[in-house]
């Protein structure tokens, strides 16, 4: 009788399932997945770093490794949200001095002369603008100045009146080239006061800064505007223009690119604008020739 009871007890133990095995299809109960609490319905039990925590969705782009996890959206992670058109760059400049060297090189070698938001124009290769000194009160004065300067050219009679300047076309080199001779309008900028006030923002001051830079630099290779920064005060506004100039090296030498800033101030009500001067910030090496 005792022997029969022992046999039945042994058979009963063999029939009972293991207490930590829920017979789920994806539960291997192996030592490698010992952190499996069998409570997460979507637990695949094949990820070594899967802790069944609520923030682990086992998605293809989430490896949960400390070295590559850029999805915490914390302020300390520069490229946090992986949005294609959001660079989250920690290097976006707040001053001209903070402009990245690589961005300077891109502008000099592959960029435009000026970025959007600044005065610029373009002409065919056989045409070019040229500014006369100072400002003028009328288109007639600009026509007279053009005729006096280009004595061997032909003033064609084609003229233009823009917000910033008067323009007179002059044919030179036996008509093979056309000069768009310009003089700044005194009723827009007379060298002291900028029209269009009151200037509660820096939009027109930025335009003036870019215009004056363009007058002096538009035809010099390697001279470019990077951008600028504004500051609005109680009675005075300021604008800082960031720009570069390039000295192209001879054979075997590097180009030298100089980062500069030019600061302007304007009275909001009176419109008196002042060039506060140009400063050199640093010089970097460009391409090797």
Residue 12's nearest CA partner among 4, 24, 20 is: 4
In a domain, 40, yes or no: no
How high is the pLDDT of residue 138? 98
| Residue in the structure block whose two tokens are 């010992």 | 34
In a domain, 112, yes or no: no
Model confidence, pTM = 0.69
In a domain, 138, yes or no: yes
How high is the pLDDT of residue 92? 76
How high is the pLDDT of residue 179? 97
Residue 235's nearest CA partner among 283, 270, 278, 261 is: 270
CB 135 within 8 A of CB 186: yes
What confidence tens digit (pLDDT) does each residue in 183-212 have?
A: 999 999 999 999 999 999 999 999 999 999
In a domain, 198, yes or no: yes
How high is the pLDDT of residue 9? 35
In a domain, 94, yes or no: no
CB 218 within 8 A of CB 113: yes
Question: In angstroms, rounded to a whole number, what is the distance separating the alpha carbons of residues 38 and 3?
Answer: 39
In a domain, 31, yes or no: no
Residue 263's nearest CA partner among 136, 103, 121, 97 is: 97
Number of domains forming the structure of the chain: 1
* Domain boundaries, position 277: 127-288
Burial (Cβ within 10 Å: 0-12, 13-18, ≥19) of residue 120: middle
- Distances in whole angstroms, Cα of residue 273 to Cα of each of 19, 106, 213, 240, 249: 85, 32, 15, 13, 37
How high is the pLDDT of residue 34? 44
Question: In angstroms, rounded to a whole number, what is the distance separating the alpha carbons of residues 172 and 125?
Answer: 14
What confidence tens digit (pLDDT) does each residue in 239-253 have?
A: 999 999 999 999 999
Question: In angstroms, rounded to a whole number, what is the distance separating the alpha carbons of residues 33 and 49?
Answer: 9
The alpha carbons of the chain give a radius of gyration, in whole angstroms, of: 36
In a domain, 216, yes or no: yes
Intervals of the chain under pLDDT 50: 1-90
Strand order through the sheet with 154-161: 127-136, 177-185, 165-172, 154-161
In a domain, 82, yes or no: no
């Amino acid at each position: 009788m005792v022997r029969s009871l022992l046999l039945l007890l042994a058979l009963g133990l063999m029939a009972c399932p293991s207490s930590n095995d829920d017979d789920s299809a994806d539960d291997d109960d192996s030592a490698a997945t010992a952190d499996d609490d069998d409570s997460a319905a979507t637990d695949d039990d094949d990820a070594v770093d899967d802790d069944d925590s609520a923030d682990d969705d086992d998605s293809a782009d989430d490896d949960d490794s400390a070295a590559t996890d850029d999805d915490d959206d914390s302020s300390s992670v520069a490229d946090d949200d992986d949005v294609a058109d959001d660079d989250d760059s920690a290097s976006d400049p707040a001053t001209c001095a903070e402009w990245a060297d690589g961005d300077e090189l891109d502008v000099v070698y592959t960029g435009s002369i000026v970025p959007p938001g600044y005065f610029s124009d373009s002409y065919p290769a056989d045409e070019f603008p040229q500014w006369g000194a100072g400002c003028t009160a009328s288109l007639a004065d600009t026509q007279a100045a053009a005729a006096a300067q280009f004595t061997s050219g032909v003033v064609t009679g084609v003229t233009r009146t823009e917000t910033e300047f008067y323009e007179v076309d002059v044919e030179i080199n036996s008509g093979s080239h056309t000069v768009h001779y310009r003089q700044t309008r005194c009723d827009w900028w007379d060298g002291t006061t900028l029209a269009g006030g009151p200037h509660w923002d820096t939009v027109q001051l930025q335009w003036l800064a870019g215009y004056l830079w363009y007058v002096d630099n538009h035809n010099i290779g390697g001279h470019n505007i990077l951008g600028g920064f504004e500051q609005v005060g109680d009675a005075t506004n300021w604008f800082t223009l960031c720009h570069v100039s390039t000295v192209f090296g001879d054979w075997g030498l590097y180009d030298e690119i100089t980062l500069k800033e030019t600061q302007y101030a304007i009275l909001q009500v009176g419109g008196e604008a002042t060039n506060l001067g140009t400063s050199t910030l640093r010089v970097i090496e460009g391409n090797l020739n």
